[in-house]
Amino acid sequence: AKGESLSICVFGASGDLAKKKVLPAIFSLYYDRHLPENVRVFGYARSKMTNEEFKEKIRESLPCRISAAGNCDDVIESFLERMHYVSGLYDDPKDFKALDQAMAAEEAKMGKKAMRIFYLSIPPSIFVPVAQNAARECSSSTGETRVIVEKPFGRDLESSRELTSSLAEVLAEENTYRIDHYLGKELIENITVLRFSNIMFQPLWSRAYIRNVQICFSENFGTEGRGGYFDNYGIIRDVMQNHLLQVMALFAMEEPASLDAEDIRDEKVKVIRCIRPIEMDNVVLGQYKGRRDGDKQLPGYLDDETVPPGSKCPTFAAMALFIDNARWDGVPFLMKAGKALHKRQAEIRIQFHHAPGKLYKKQLGSASEMNSNELVIRIQPDESIYLRLNSKIPGLGMRLDQTDLDLQYKTKFSEANLPDAYERLILDVVQGDKRLFIRNDELEEAWKLFTPLLKTIEDDQMAPELYPYGSRGPIGAHYLASRYNVRWGDTY
Ligand code: BG6
Protein backbone atom coordinates (compact mmCIF):
# COMPACT_ATOMS: atom_id res chain seq x y z
CA ALA A 1 0.00 0.00 0.00
CA LYS A 2 1.12 3.56 -0.60
CA GLY A 3 2.89 5.02 2.36
CA GLU A 4 4.33 1.66 3.38
CA SER A 5 7.68 0.44 2.26
CA LEU A 6 9.81 -2.63 2.66
CA SER A 7 13.56 -2.70 3.16
CA ILE A 8 15.38 -6.01 2.97
CA CYS A 9 18.99 -6.07 4.05
CA VAL A 10 21.21 -9.06 3.35
CA PHE A 11 24.23 -9.40 5.62
CA GLY A 12 27.00 -11.34 3.93
CA ALA A 13 25.89 -9.92 0.60
CA SER A 14 29.12 -10.79 -1.17
CA GLY A 15 29.02 -14.40 -0.01
CA ASP A 16 28.03 -17.52 -1.86
CA LEU A 17 24.60 -18.08 -0.38
CA ALA A 18 23.55 -14.49 -1.00
CA LYS A 19 24.68 -14.61 -4.58
CA LYS A 20 23.37 -18.08 -5.42
CA LYS A 21 20.13 -18.15 -3.47
CA VAL A 22 19.03 -15.18 -1.43
CA LEU A 23 19.38 -12.30 -3.89
CA PRO A 24 18.08 -14.28 -6.89
CA ALA A 25 15.05 -15.29 -4.78
CA ILE A 26 14.36 -11.68 -3.81
CA PHE A 27 14.67 -10.74 -7.46
CA SER A 28 12.24 -13.47 -8.55
CA LEU A 29 9.71 -12.27 -6.02
CA TYR A 30 10.10 -8.76 -7.33
CA TYR A 31 9.84 -9.99 -10.90
CA ASP A 32 6.59 -11.78 -10.16
CA ARG A 33 5.29 -8.69 -8.38
CA HIS A 34 5.07 -10.28 -4.98
CA LEU A 35 7.00 -7.42 -3.41
CA PRO A 36 5.70 -3.87 -3.08
CA GLU A 37 6.94 -1.31 -5.61
CA ASN A 38 8.33 0.51 -2.59
CA VAL A 39 10.95 -2.11 -1.90
CA ARG A 40 14.63 -1.47 -1.33
CA VAL A 41 17.28 -4.15 -1.10
CA PHE A 42 20.47 -3.48 0.83
CA GLY A 43 23.58 -5.57 0.67
CA TYR A 44 25.98 -5.35 3.60
CA ALA A 45 29.39 -6.96 3.75
CA ARG A 46 32.97 -6.24 4.66
CA SER A 47 34.37 -6.01 1.13
CA LYS A 48 34.93 -2.48 -0.04
CA MET A 49 32.91 -1.95 -3.20
CA THR A 50 30.99 0.82 -4.82
CA ASN A 51 27.29 0.51 -5.43
CA GLU A 52 27.99 0.03 -9.11
CA GLU A 53 30.57 -2.69 -8.56
CA PHE A 54 28.18 -4.55 -6.31
CA LYS A 55 25.37 -4.34 -8.84
CA GLU A 56 27.61 -5.64 -11.59
CA LYS A 57 28.54 -8.57 -9.40
CA ILE A 58 24.92 -9.37 -8.66
CA ARG A 59 23.50 -8.74 -12.12
CA GLU A 60 24.69 -12.00 -13.64
CA SER A 61 23.15 -14.11 -10.90
CA LEU A 62 19.64 -12.71 -11.35
CA PRO A 63 17.53 -15.34 -13.08
CA CYS A 64 15.19 -14.44 -15.90
CA ARG A 65 12.22 -16.75 -15.99
CA ILE A 66 10.86 -17.54 -19.39
CA SER A 67 7.81 -15.37 -19.38
CA ALA A 68 5.27 -14.17 -21.85
CA ALA A 69 6.10 -10.59 -21.02
CA GLY A 70 9.69 -11.06 -22.18
CA ASN A 71 10.83 -7.87 -20.51
CA CYS A 72 13.28 -9.31 -18.06
CA ASP A 73 16.07 -6.85 -18.80
CA ASP A 74 13.86 -3.94 -17.85
CA VAL A 75 12.88 -5.64 -14.64
CA ILE A 76 16.54 -6.30 -13.82
CA GLU A 77 17.31 -2.63 -14.32
CA SER A 78 14.48 -1.48 -12.11
CA PHE A 79 15.45 -4.06 -9.48
CA LEU A 80 19.08 -2.88 -9.53
CA GLU A 81 17.90 0.69 -9.10
CA ARG A 82 16.37 -0.43 -5.83
CA MET A 83 19.61 -1.97 -4.59
CA HIS A 84 22.21 -0.36 -2.37
CA TYR A 85 25.47 -1.60 -1.05
CA VAL A 86 26.92 -0.67 2.32
CA SER A 87 30.29 -1.94 3.39
CA GLY A 88 31.12 -2.24 7.05
CA LEU A 89 32.48 -4.41 9.82
CA TYR A 90 30.27 -6.94 11.55
CA ASP A 91 31.19 -5.90 15.05
CA ASP A 92 31.22 -2.13 14.81
CA PRO A 93 27.99 -0.39 15.85
CA LYS A 94 29.12 2.74 13.97
CA ASP A 95 28.92 0.89 10.67
CA PHE A 96 25.43 -0.34 11.50
CA LYS A 97 24.44 3.23 12.27
CA ALA A 98 25.58 4.15 8.78
CA LEU A 99 23.46 1.32 7.40
CA ASP A 100 20.50 2.56 9.40
CA GLN A 101 20.94 6.01 7.92
CA ALA A 102 21.22 4.68 4.39
CA MET A 103 17.99 2.74 4.91
CA ALA A 104 16.21 5.66 6.50
CA ALA A 105 17.20 7.98 3.65
CA GLU A 106 15.58 5.67 1.12
CA GLU A 107 12.53 5.00 3.25
CA ALA A 108 11.95 8.72 3.73
CA LYS A 109 11.35 9.04 0.00
CA MET A 110 8.65 6.43 0.11
CA GLY A 111 6.30 7.04 2.98
CA LYS A 112 5.80 7.00 6.68
CA LYS A 113 5.92 3.32 7.54
CA ALA A 114 8.72 0.93 6.76
CA MET A 115 9.08 -2.73 7.52
CA ARG A 116 12.66 -3.99 7.73
CA ILE A 117 13.82 -7.51 7.13
CA PHE A 118 17.38 -8.56 7.91
CA TYR A 119 18.76 -11.70 6.37
CA LEU A 120 21.77 -13.16 8.20
CA SER A 121 23.56 -14.91 5.38
CA ILE A 122 26.80 -15.08 7.37
CA PRO A 123 29.00 -17.60 9.18
CA PRO A 124 27.66 -18.75 12.56
CA SER A 125 30.62 -17.24 14.42
CA ILE A 126 29.24 -13.75 13.78
CA PHE A 127 25.47 -14.37 14.14
CA VAL A 128 25.29 -12.87 17.58
CA PRO A 129 27.18 -9.60 17.03
CA VAL A 130 25.40 -8.99 13.74
CA ALA A 131 21.95 -9.73 15.14
CA GLN A 132 22.66 -7.57 18.16
CA ASN A 133 24.06 -4.67 16.21
CA ALA A 134 21.29 -4.84 13.64
CA ALA A 135 18.59 -4.99 16.29
CA ARG A 136 20.09 -2.17 18.33
CA GLU A 137 21.15 0.19 15.58
CA CYS A 138 18.90 -0.64 12.65
CA SER A 139 15.47 -1.61 13.96
CA SER A 140 12.71 0.11 12.07
CA SER A 141 11.36 3.02 14.05
CA THR A 142 8.11 3.08 12.11
CA GLY A 143 7.22 -0.55 11.42
CA GLU A 144 8.13 -4.13 12.16
CA THR A 145 11.63 -5.59 12.12
CA ARG A 146 12.08 -9.26 11.25
CA VAL A 147 15.30 -11.23 11.24
CA ILE A 148 16.01 -14.33 9.18
CA VAL A 149 18.69 -16.63 10.55
CA GLU A 150 20.34 -19.34 8.47
CA LYS A 151 21.51 -22.62 9.93
CA PRO A 152 23.65 -23.88 11.55
CA PHE A 153 21.87 -22.85 14.74
CA GLY A 154 24.66 -24.00 17.01
CA ARG A 155 26.72 -27.22 17.01
CA ASP A 156 24.99 -29.02 19.85
CA LEU A 157 22.36 -28.53 22.49
CA GLU A 158 24.49 -26.27 24.65
CA SER A 159 25.75 -23.94 21.92
CA SER A 160 22.30 -23.77 20.39
CA ARG A 161 20.84 -22.73 23.74
CA GLU A 162 23.51 -20.05 24.07
CA LEU A 163 22.75 -18.77 20.59
CA THR A 164 19.02 -18.74 21.27
CA SER A 165 19.41 -16.81 24.48
CA SER A 166 21.84 -14.26 22.99
CA LEU A 167 19.45 -13.64 20.13
CA ALA A 168 16.52 -13.45 22.52
CA GLU A 169 18.20 -10.54 24.33
CA VAL A 170 17.60 -8.32 21.34
CA LEU A 171 14.94 -10.11 19.32
CA ALA A 172 11.51 -11.43 20.21
CA GLU A 173 10.90 -15.04 19.14
CA GLU A 174 7.98 -13.70 17.14
CA ASN A 175 10.34 -11.72 14.93
CA THR A 176 12.97 -14.43 14.57
CA TYR A 177 12.68 -16.58 11.46
CA ARG A 178 14.93 -19.67 11.55
CA ILE A 179 15.12 -20.85 8.02
CA ASP A 180 15.38 -24.49 6.99
CA HIS A 181 15.17 -24.23 3.25
CA TYR A 182 13.91 -27.82 2.88
CA LEU A 183 10.60 -26.68 4.33
CA GLY A 184 10.25 -24.33 1.36
CA LYS A 185 10.50 -27.11 -1.18
CA GLU A 186 7.35 -27.83 -3.12
CA LEU A 187 7.25 -31.57 -2.46
CA ILE A 188 7.89 -31.16 1.23
CA GLU A 189 5.00 -28.74 1.61
CA ASN A 190 2.94 -31.31 -0.22
CA ILE A 191 3.53 -34.04 2.40
CA THR A 192 0.84 -32.63 4.68
CA VAL A 193 -1.56 -32.15 1.79
CA LEU A 194 -1.03 -35.68 0.58
CA ARG A 195 -1.55 -37.15 4.02
CA PHE A 196 -4.45 -35.18 5.34
CA SER A 197 -6.52 -34.45 2.26
CA ASN A 198 -6.56 -37.93 0.71
CA ILE A 199 -8.70 -40.44 2.52
CA MET A 200 -6.99 -43.33 0.81
CA PHE A 201 -3.72 -42.63 2.61
CA GLN A 202 -5.12 -41.95 6.06
CA PRO A 203 -5.77 -45.53 7.17
CA LEU A 204 -2.48 -46.70 5.65
CA TRP A 205 -0.27 -44.22 7.46
CA SER A 206 0.89 -46.30 10.42
CA ARG A 207 2.68 -49.42 11.56
CA ALA A 208 -0.35 -51.46 10.51
CA TYR A 209 0.52 -51.04 6.83
CA ILE A 210 3.93 -49.41 6.61
CA ARG A 211 6.94 -51.67 6.91
CA ASN A 212 9.62 -49.01 6.81
CA VAL A 213 10.27 -45.45 5.75
CA GLN A 214 13.44 -44.32 4.02
CA ILE A 215 14.54 -40.72 3.90
CA CYS A 216 17.47 -40.41 1.54
CA PHE A 217 19.61 -37.49 0.49
CA SER A 218 22.54 -37.78 -1.85
CA GLU A 219 24.73 -35.37 -3.72
CA ASN A 220 27.07 -36.18 -6.59
CA PHE A 221 29.62 -33.59 -5.52
CA GLY A 222 31.88 -33.25 -2.53
CA THR A 223 32.48 -30.38 -0.16
CA GLU A 224 34.63 -28.61 -2.75
CA GLY A 225 35.55 -25.20 -1.42
CA ARG A 226 33.38 -25.53 1.70
CA GLY A 227 35.66 -27.91 3.56
CA GLY A 228 36.51 -25.35 6.22
CA TYR A 229 32.88 -24.96 7.22
CA PHE A 230 31.98 -28.56 6.69
CA ASP A 231 34.73 -30.07 8.76
CA ASN A 232 33.46 -28.30 11.82
CA TYR A 233 29.97 -29.74 11.32
CA GLY A 234 29.87 -32.99 9.37
CA ILE A 235 26.95 -34.47 7.47
CA ILE A 236 24.79 -35.16 10.53
CA ARG A 237 24.70 -31.51 11.53
CA ASP A 238 24.73 -30.29 7.95
CA VAL A 239 21.58 -31.99 6.69
CA MET A 240 20.22 -34.62 9.10
CA GLN A 241 19.61 -32.70 12.30
CA ASN A 242 17.66 -30.15 10.27
CA HIS A 243 16.48 -30.96 6.74
CA LEU A 244 15.94 -34.70 7.06
CA LEU A 245 14.57 -34.59 10.58
CA GLN A 246 12.07 -31.95 9.46
CA VAL A 247 10.95 -34.19 6.62
CA MET A 248 10.56 -37.08 9.05
CA ALA A 249 8.55 -34.94 11.47
CA LEU A 250 6.12 -33.78 8.77
CA PHE A 251 5.80 -37.31 7.54
CA ALA A 252 5.15 -38.85 10.94
CA MET A 253 3.36 -36.18 13.00
CA GLU A 254 -0.26 -36.48 14.07
CA GLU A 255 -2.86 -34.32 12.37
CA PRO A 256 -2.51 -30.74 13.59
CA ALA A 257 -5.56 -28.95 15.00
CA SER A 258 -5.31 -26.39 12.19
CA LEU A 259 -2.88 -25.19 9.59
CA ASP A 260 -1.71 -22.40 11.87
CA ALA A 261 2.01 -22.18 12.49
CA GLU A 262 1.70 -22.98 16.19
CA ASP A 263 -0.50 -26.03 15.67
CA ILE A 264 1.78 -27.53 13.04
CA ARG A 265 4.89 -26.91 15.06
CA ASP A 266 3.26 -28.33 18.21
CA GLU A 267 2.78 -31.61 16.36
CA LYS A 268 6.31 -31.65 14.97
CA VAL A 269 7.81 -31.08 18.40
CA LYS A 270 5.65 -33.83 19.85
CA VAL A 271 6.71 -36.45 17.35
CA ILE A 272 10.41 -35.51 17.56
CA ARG A 273 10.16 -36.00 21.32
CA CYS A 274 8.92 -39.54 20.70
CA ILE A 275 12.01 -40.55 18.76
CA ARG A 276 14.05 -43.08 20.69
CA PRO A 277 17.64 -42.02 21.57
CA ILE A 278 19.89 -43.08 18.72
CA GLU A 279 22.26 -45.93 19.46
CA MET A 280 25.67 -46.07 17.87
CA ASP A 281 24.85 -49.59 16.72
CA ASN A 282 22.24 -48.10 14.44
CA VAL A 283 24.60 -45.67 12.79
CA VAL A 284 27.05 -46.00 9.91
CA LEU A 285 29.53 -43.24 9.11
CA GLY A 286 31.43 -42.74 5.89
CA GLN A 287 33.93 -40.41 4.29
CA TYR A 288 34.66 -40.20 0.58
CA LYS A 289 38.09 -40.91 -0.80
CA GLY A 290 39.62 -39.94 -4.11
CA ARG A 291 39.05 -41.99 -7.21
CA ARG A 292 40.52 -42.07 -10.66
CA ASP A 293 37.89 -41.63 -13.37
CA GLY A 294 39.44 -42.07 -16.80
CA ASP A 295 42.08 -39.39 -16.99
CA LYS A 296 40.42 -37.34 -14.28
CA GLN A 297 41.23 -37.60 -10.59
CA LEU A 298 38.18 -37.08 -8.37
CA PRO A 299 39.40 -35.60 -5.07
CA GLY A 300 38.90 -37.27 -1.72
CA TYR A 301 37.55 -35.28 1.23
CA LEU A 302 41.01 -35.11 2.76
CA ASP A 303 42.44 -33.69 -0.47
CA ASP A 304 40.55 -30.46 0.17
CA GLU A 305 43.13 -27.97 1.39
CA THR A 306 40.69 -26.40 3.83
CA VAL A 307 40.18 -29.75 5.59
CA PRO A 308 42.58 -30.54 8.46
CA PRO A 309 44.82 -33.53 7.64
CA GLY A 310 43.55 -36.83 8.98
CA SER A 311 40.07 -35.46 9.71
CA LYS A 312 37.51 -38.11 10.69
CA CYS A 313 34.61 -35.90 9.79
CA PRO A 314 31.77 -37.95 8.27
CA THR A 315 30.59 -36.93 4.81
CA PHE A 316 28.09 -39.77 4.84
CA ALA A 317 25.82 -41.19 7.51
CA ALA A 318 23.04 -43.73 7.61
CA MET A 319 20.94 -44.50 10.65
CA ALA A 320 17.88 -46.33 11.84
CA LEU A 321 15.48 -44.27 13.95
CA PHE A 322 12.39 -45.39 15.84
CA ILE A 323 9.39 -43.43 16.98
CA ASP A 324 8.06 -44.89 20.20
CA ASN A 325 4.42 -44.00 19.89
CA ALA A 326 1.26 -45.90 19.06
CA ARG A 327 1.31 -45.05 15.37
CA TRP A 328 4.91 -45.98 14.62
CA ASP A 329 6.02 -48.49 17.24
CA GLY A 330 8.56 -50.84 15.65
CA VAL A 331 8.70 -49.20 12.20
CA PRO A 332 12.30 -48.44 11.18
CA PHE A 333 12.84 -44.98 9.77
CA LEU A 334 16.04 -45.27 7.81
CA MET A 335 17.83 -42.06 7.12
CA LYS A 336 20.76 -41.72 4.79
CA ALA A 337 22.71 -38.70 3.64
CA GLY A 338 25.96 -38.31 1.81
CA LYS A 339 28.20 -36.18 -0.33
CA ALA A 340 30.15 -37.31 -3.39
CA LEU A 341 27.82 -40.20 -4.14
CA HIS A 342 26.69 -41.47 -7.53
CA LYS A 343 23.75 -39.09 -7.97
CA ARG A 344 22.03 -36.01 -6.65
CA GLN A 345 18.67 -36.98 -5.27
CA ALA A 346 16.43 -36.54 -2.27
CA GLU A 347 13.37 -38.64 -1.58
CA ILE A 348 11.08 -40.26 0.93
CA ARG A 349 10.31 -43.88 0.19
CA ILE A 350 7.56 -45.66 2.05
CA GLN A 351 7.56 -49.44 1.80
CA PHE A 352 4.31 -51.14 2.71
CA HIS A 353 3.82 -54.65 4.04
CA HIS A 354 3.25 -57.19 1.35
CA ALA A 355 -0.21 -58.42 0.66
CA PRO A 356 -1.15 -61.37 2.85
CA GLY A 357 -2.33 -64.64 1.41
CA LYS A 358 -0.86 -66.86 -1.27
CA LEU A 359 -2.87 -66.08 -4.36
CA TYR A 360 -0.07 -64.62 -6.48
CA LYS A 361 2.96 -65.90 -4.61
CA LYS A 362 4.07 -67.98 -7.55
CA GLN A 363 4.00 -65.08 -9.99
CA LEU A 364 5.49 -62.53 -7.62
CA GLY A 365 8.24 -64.60 -6.08
CA SER A 366 9.05 -64.51 -2.41
CA ALA A 367 11.37 -61.55 -2.01
CA SER A 368 8.93 -59.23 -0.32
CA GLU A 369 10.55 -55.94 -1.27
CA MET A 370 10.24 -56.88 -4.89
CA ASN A 371 6.49 -57.04 -4.77
CA SER A 372 5.20 -54.85 -1.98
CA ASN A 373 3.69 -51.47 -2.62
CA GLU A 374 5.90 -48.45 -2.40
CA LEU A 375 5.07 -44.77 -2.32
CA VAL A 376 7.89 -42.48 -3.33
CA ILE A 377 7.94 -38.75 -2.82
CA ARG A 378 10.83 -37.52 -4.93
CA ILE A 379 11.85 -34.18 -3.49
CA GLN A 380 14.42 -33.45 -6.19
CA PRO A 381 15.41 -33.50 -8.97
CA ASP A 382 12.50 -34.52 -11.23
CA GLU A 383 9.96 -33.76 -8.56
CA SER A 384 7.37 -36.50 -8.54
CA ILE A 385 5.16 -38.78 -6.50
CA TYR A 386 4.76 -42.35 -7.53
CA LEU A 387 3.01 -45.37 -6.23
CA ARG A 388 4.35 -48.77 -7.09
CA LEU A 389 1.71 -51.40 -7.72
CA ASN A 390 1.63 -55.00 -8.87
CA SER A 391 -0.24 -55.43 -12.05
CA LYS A 392 -0.81 -57.97 -14.75
CA ILE A 393 1.36 -57.77 -17.81
CA PRO A 394 -1.12 -57.55 -20.67
CA GLY A 395 -1.37 -60.72 -22.71
CA LEU A 396 -2.74 -64.19 -22.63
CA GLY A 397 -0.58 -65.53 -19.83
CA MET A 398 -0.68 -64.58 -16.17
CA ARG A 399 2.48 -62.68 -15.50
CA LEU A 400 2.72 -59.92 -12.96
CA ASP A 401 5.03 -56.99 -12.74
CA GLN A 402 5.44 -53.76 -10.82
CA THR A 403 4.25 -50.58 -12.46
CA ASP A 404 4.13 -47.01 -11.28
CA LEU A 405 1.22 -44.66 -10.95
CA ASP A 406 3.26 -41.65 -11.63
CA LEU A 407 2.74 -37.94 -10.98
CA GLN A 408 5.61 -36.16 -12.68
CA TYR A 409 5.66 -32.48 -11.89
CA LYS A 410 7.53 -31.67 -15.07
CA THR A 411 4.77 -32.95 -17.30
CA LYS A 412 1.82 -32.12 -15.08
CA PHE A 413 2.68 -28.59 -14.00
CA SER A 414 4.53 -25.79 -15.69
CA GLU A 415 7.96 -24.92 -14.38
CA ALA A 416 6.89 -21.50 -13.22
CA ASN A 417 4.88 -23.24 -10.54
CA LEU A 418 8.01 -24.62 -8.94
CA PRO A 419 9.51 -21.64 -7.17
CA ASP A 420 12.82 -21.96 -5.43
CA ALA A 421 12.52 -22.77 -1.74
CA TYR A 422 14.10 -19.45 -0.79
CA GLU A 423 11.48 -17.53 -2.73
CA ARG A 424 8.62 -19.07 -0.84
CA LEU A 425 10.32 -18.62 2.50
CA ILE A 426 11.32 -14.99 1.99
CA LEU A 427 7.77 -14.19 0.88
CA ASP A 428 6.49 -15.89 4.04
CA VAL A 429 8.68 -13.59 6.11
CA VAL A 430 7.31 -10.55 4.29
CA GLN A 431 3.81 -11.82 5.07
CA GLY A 432 4.64 -12.82 8.64
CA ASP A 433 3.75 -16.47 8.09
CA LYS A 434 5.81 -18.71 10.38
CA ARG A 435 4.47 -22.13 9.39
CA LEU A 436 7.64 -23.08 7.53
CA PHE A 437 10.13 -21.79 10.09
CA ILE A 438 11.69 -23.61 13.02
CA ARG A 439 10.40 -22.70 16.45
CA ASN A 440 12.88 -22.56 19.32
CA ASP A 441 11.51 -25.62 21.14
CA GLU A 442 11.64 -27.61 17.92
CA LEU A 443 15.29 -26.70 17.51
CA GLU A 444 15.93 -27.70 21.10
CA GLU A 445 14.34 -31.13 20.60
CA ALA A 446 16.30 -31.71 17.40
CA TRP A 447 19.55 -31.03 19.25
CA LYS A 448 18.49 -33.18 22.20
CA LEU A 449 18.11 -36.07 19.81
CA PHE A 450 21.42 -35.70 18.00
CA THR A 451 23.78 -34.23 20.60
CA PRO A 452 24.51 -37.47 22.55
CA LEU A 453 25.23 -39.29 19.29
CA LEU A 454 27.52 -36.54 18.02
CA LYS A 455 29.31 -36.48 21.34
CA THR A 456 29.97 -40.24 21.20
CA ILE A 457 31.22 -40.00 17.63
CA GLU A 458 33.55 -37.12 18.42
CA ASP A 459 34.75 -38.18 21.87
CA ASP A 460 35.53 -41.67 20.64
CA GLN A 461 37.04 -40.34 17.42
CA MET A 462 35.06 -42.90 15.48
CA ALA A 463 36.61 -43.66 12.15
CA PRO A 464 34.31 -43.36 9.13
CA GLU A 465 34.19 -46.13 6.52
CA LEU A 466 35.85 -44.87 3.35
CA TYR A 467 33.88 -44.93 0.10
CA PRO A 468 35.04 -43.90 -3.36
CA TYR A 469 33.90 -40.57 -4.79
CA GLY A 470 30.86 -41.19 -6.97
CA SER A 471 29.96 -44.56 -5.45
CA ARG A 472 26.82 -45.68 -3.62
CA GLY A 473 28.40 -45.08 -0.23
CA PRO A 474 29.87 -47.45 2.37
CA ILE A 475 28.73 -51.04 2.37
CA GLY A 476 27.90 -50.69 6.08
CA ALA A 477 24.72 -48.83 5.12
CA HIS A 478 23.56 -51.92 3.29
CA TYR A 479 24.18 -54.13 6.34
CA LEU A 480 22.41 -51.67 8.60
CA ALA A 481 19.28 -51.83 6.44
CA SER A 482 19.38 -55.59 6.11
CA ARG A 483 19.40 -55.92 9.87
CA TYR A 484 15.82 -54.63 9.63
CA ASN A 485 15.02 -56.69 6.53
CA VAL A 486 15.10 -53.59 4.41
CA ARG A 487 16.72 -52.80 1.10
CA TRP A 488 17.47 -49.20 0.27
CA GLY A 489 15.11 -48.38 -2.54
CA ASP A 490 17.13 -45.55 -4.02
CA THR A 491 19.97 -47.86 -5.01
CA TYR A 492 17.90 -50.61 -6.67
C1 BG6 B 1 22.57 -27.08 2.85
C2 BG6 B 1 23.82 -27.82 3.23
O3 BG6 B 1 21.83 -26.78 3.97
O4 BG6 B 1 21.81 -27.87 1.96
C5 BG6 B 1 24.61 -28.22 2.00
O6 BG6 B 1 24.61 -27.02 4.07
C7 BG6 B 1 23.74 -28.96 1.02
O8 BG6 B 1 25.73 -29.00 2.34
C9 BG6 B 1 22.46 -28.20 0.75
O10 BG6 B 1 24.47 -29.11 -0.19
C11 BG6 B 1 21.50 -28.99 -0.09
O12 BG6 B 1 20.44 -28.18 -0.50
P13 BG6 B 1 19.66 -28.49 -1.84
O14 BG6 B 1 18.51 -27.55 -1.81
O15 BG6 B 1 20.60 -28.27 -2.96
O16 BG6 B 1 19.24 -29.93 -1.73
The tens digit of pLDDT for each residue in 435-481 reads: 999 999 999 999 999 999 999 999 999 999 999 999 999 999 999 99
Task: Report phi then psi at 378, rounded to 5.
Answer: -90, 110
Residue 44 contacts residue 22 (beta carbons within 8 Å): no
Q: What's the CA-to-centroid distance between 83 and ligand 1, angstroms?
A: 27
- Any residues with CB less than 8 A from the CB of 305 and at least 6 apart, and which? 227
Q: Which of 440, 443, 439, 436 is nearest to 421 (CA)?
A: 436
Q: What's the CA-to-centroid distance between 277 and ligand 1, angstroms?
A: 25
Pairing of strands 345-352, 374-380: antiparallel
State which ligand 1 atom lies nearest to the alpha carbon of 223: 8
Nearest CA to ligand 1 atom 8: 238
User: What distance in Å separates the CA atoms of residue 248 and residue 334, rounded to the nearest whole number?
Assistant: 10
State which ligand 1 atom lies nearest to the alpha carbon of 346: 16
- Any residues with CB less than 8 A from the CB of 27 and at least 6 apart, and which? 62, 63, 76, 79
Single-letter amino acid, residue 480: L
Q: What's the CA-to-centroid distance between 217 and ligand 1, angstroms?
A: 10
Nearest CA to ligand 1 atom 5: 238
What is the per-residue pLDDT across 317-341, written as a single tens digit (0 to 9) for each?
999 999 999 999 999 999 999 999 9
User: What distance in Å separates the CA atoms of residue 234 and residue 229, rounded to the nearest whole number?
Assistant: 9
Nearest CA to ligand 1 atom 6: 238
State which ligand 1 atom lies nearest to the alpha carbon of 379: 16
Q: What's the CA-to-centroid distance between 13 and ligand 1, angstroms?
A: 19
User: What distance in Å separates the CA atoms of residue 171 and residue 163, rounded to the nearest whole number?
Assistant: 12
pLDDT reported for residue 348:
98
Nearest CA to ligand 1 atom 9: 239
Task: Report phi then psi at 307, rounded to 5.
Answer: -95, 130
Q: What is the mean pLDDT of the chain?
A: 92
Residue 45 contacts residue 130 (beta carbons within 8 Å): no
Segment 35-52 shows an average pLDDT of 94
What ipTM describes this predicted complex?
0.98
What is the per-residue pLDDT across 396-410, written as a single tens digit (0 to 9) for each?
988 888 899 999 998
- For the cut 70, the answer to whether the pLDDT of residue 298 exceeds it is yes
User: What distance in Å separates the CA atoms of residue 29 and residue 328, rounded to the nearest whole number?
Assistant: 40
State which ligand 1 atom lies nearest to the alpha carbon of 344: 16
> Residue 186: is it exposed, middle or buried by C-beta count within 10 angstroms (0-12/13-18/19+)?
middle
What is the per-residue pLDDT across 119-145, written as a single tens digit (0 to 9) for each?
999 988 899 999 999 999 999 988 999
User: What distance in Å separates the CA atoms of residue 206 and residue 194, rounded to the nearest whole number?
Assistant: 15
Pocket test for ligand 1, best of 149, 235, 243, 422 (most atoms within 8 A of CB): 243
Q: What's the CA-to-centroid distance between 381 and ligand 1, angstroms?
A: 13
Q: 146 has which bridge partners? A: 117
- For the cut 90, the answer to whether the pLDDT of residue 259 exceeds it is yes
Task: Report phi then psi at 149, rounded to 5.
Answer: -110, 135
State which ligand 1 atom lies nearest to the alpha carbon of 238: 6
Pocket test for ligand 1, best of 16, 180, 219, 247 (most atoms within 8 A of CB): 219
Q: What's the CA-to-centroid distance between 206 and ligand 1, angstroms?
A: 30
Ligand 1 surroundings by CB, under 6 angstroms: 181, 219, 238-239, 346
Residue 453 contacts residue 446 (beta carbons within 8 Å): no
- For the cut 90, the answer to whether the pLDDT of residue 65 exceeds it is no
Helix (H) or strand (E) holding 75: helix 72-81
- Residues with a catalytic annotation lie at 243
Note the pTM of the prediction, 2 decimals: 0.94
